């Protein structure tokens, strides 16, 4: 927020972005409105209507409130991607390694090289806060040769249903949802570079670099086969921690961090109707507040850490 409060973003406008700086400009004005509301004694309440309208002009799929439950997460992704693009000072750079040279690097070296390459293309405060790095390791079951690749992530979409999680369960923990996301996957037709033929293999995901703010999207909806159209909402009870949350079970020995919960986006109701609320923690006082439209009230964290409505969780790193 300080980046936008200070107006520093104005000197980083990337007019080559697909939105021509409009999302960053409108968001910056929204942040100013929050400060003005606070100074006017309105308790930091400001309407994001102009920001939503600007995004609707750029992306008509966000117009209105149809499928609002699903749109919330997609709206967040579009907003963060747009803010990043609008202030991205990264530029395309030629990769300094040949394929042969890269293959000779250790896994740790590949982690660093892949991340540095990504950062040369993607340099913004938004990226610095929200982006992390996934490591995918595929092991050929015939010759045991491994192949490792890296991808960046800005959030983790944790399933509420999988081979280990079922609809008839009374509830699940966040750790169980993450276990399902990182569960090893069997590949039936993997083309092994050493065997020179299709073999069986195991694919294992892990985290090689953690973000400063970890966003976890709970997949509370099912979609119709071969489409992106939501068919039902899942009301599974999810229990999640507030303090000293770690991802150590899914990270390499090269990265570790502790997180505290700072915000939760909730949706109550059904797929085609309902209401959004949010829980946020005041970082100065440590107090939690529940926000429903323009009404805010202080609350106890025990009121929402076991929830059928929690949809997107925001964790802030406290030590890394």
Q: Where are the domains of the chain?
A: 1-89
Q: What is the pLDDT of residue 223?
A: 77
User: What stretch of H or E contains 244?
Assistant: none
Distance CA 120, CA 87 (A): 14
Q: Where does the pLDDT of residue 278 fall: very low under 50, low under 70, confident under 90, or very high at 90 and above?
A: very high
In three state form, how does the secondary structure of 27-84 look? HHHHHHHHHHHHHCCCCCCCCCHHHHHHHHHHCHHHCCCCCHHHHHHHHHHHHHHHHH
**What mean pLDDT is reported for the chain?**
88
Q: What is the pLDDT of residue 48?
A: 87
Does residue 165 or residue 11 have the better pLDDT?
Answer: 11
What predicted TM-score, i.e. pTM, was given to this entire model? Answer: 0.91
H and E: helices and strands count for the chain: 8, 17
Question: Residue 17: is its pLDDT beyond 80?
Answer: yes
Average pLDDT over residues 256-270: 92
Q: Where does the pLDDT of residue 38 fall: very low under 50, low under 70, confident under 90, or very high at 90 and above?
A: low
Number of other CB atoms surrounding residue 298 within 10 Å: 10
Distance CA 23, CA 62 (A): 14
Average pLDDT over residues 148-169: 83
Average pLDDT over residues 170-183: 93
Beta bridge partners of 45: none
List, in order, residues 6 or more apart from 289 with CB less than 8 Å away. Answer: 279, 280, 281, 282, 296, 297, 298, 299
Q: What is the pLDDT of residue 163?
A: 63
pLDDT digits (tens, 9 = 90+) for 62-90: 887 655 555 788 899 999 999 999 999 99
Q: At which residue do the structure tokens 């409009």 appear?
A: 22
Give the rounded distance of the alpha carbon of 238 from its chain centre: 18
Beta bridge partners of 215: 314
- The burial of 126, by beta-carbon neighbours within 10 Å (0-12 exposed, 13-18 middle, 19 or more buried), is given as buried
Q: What is the pLDDT of residue 167?
A: 58
Q: What is the pLDDT of residue 86?
A: 96
Q: What is the pLDDT of residue 66?
A: 58
Helix (H, G, I), strand (E, B) or coil at 226: coil
Q: What is the pLDDT of residue 161?
A: 79
Long-range contacts of 3-11 (CB under 8 A, 24+ apart): 3/125, 4/28, 4/31, 5/31, 5/32, 5/35, 9/86, 9/87
Spatial CA neighbour of 305 closest among 155, 171, 169? 171
pLDDT digits (tens, 9 = 90+) for 105-145: 999 999 999 999 999 999 999 999 999 999 999 999 999 99
- The burial of 102, by beta-carbon neighbours within 10 Å (0-12 exposed, 13-18 middle, 19 or more buried), is given as middle
């Amino acid at each position: 927020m300080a980046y936008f409060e200070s107006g520093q973003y104005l000197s980083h406008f990337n007019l080559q972005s697909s939105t021509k700086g409009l999302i960053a400009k409108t968001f910056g004005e929204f942040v100013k409105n929050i400060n003005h509301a606070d100074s006017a004694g309105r308790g930091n309440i400001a309407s994001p209507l102009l920001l939503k309208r600007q995004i609707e002009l750029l992306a008509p799929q966000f117009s209105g409130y149809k499928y609002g439950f699903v749109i919330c997460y997609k709206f967040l992704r579009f907003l963060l991607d747009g803010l990043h693009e609008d202030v991205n000072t990264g530029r395309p750079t030629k990769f300094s390694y040949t394929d042969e040279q890269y293959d000779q690097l250790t896994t740790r070296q590949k982690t660093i090289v892949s991340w540095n390459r990504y950062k040369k293309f993607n340099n913004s405060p938004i990226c610095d806060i929200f982006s992390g790095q996934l490591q995918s390791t595929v092991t050929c079951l015939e010759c045991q040769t491994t192949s490792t690749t890296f991808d960046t992530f800005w959030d983790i979409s944790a399933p509420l249903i999988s081979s280990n999680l079922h609809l008839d369960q009374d509830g699940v923990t966040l750790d169980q949802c993450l276990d399902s996301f990182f569960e090893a996957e069997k590949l039936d037709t993997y083309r092994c570079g050493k065997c020179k033929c299709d073999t069986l293999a195991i694919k294992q995901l892990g985290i090689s670099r953690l973000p400063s703010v970890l966003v976890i999207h709970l997949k509370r909806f099912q979609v119709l086969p071969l489409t992106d159209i939501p068919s039902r909402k899942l009301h599974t009870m999810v229990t999640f921690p507030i303090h000293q949350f770690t991802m150590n079970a899914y990270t390499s020995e090269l990265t570790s961090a502790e997180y505290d919960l700072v915000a939760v986006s909730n949706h109550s109701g059904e797929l085609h109707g309902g209401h959004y609320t949010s829980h946020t923690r005041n970082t100065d006082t440590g107090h939690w507040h529940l926000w429903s439209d323009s009404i805010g009230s202080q609350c106890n964290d025990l009121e929402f850490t076991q929830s059928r409505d929690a949809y997107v969780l925001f964790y802030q790193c406290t030590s890394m």
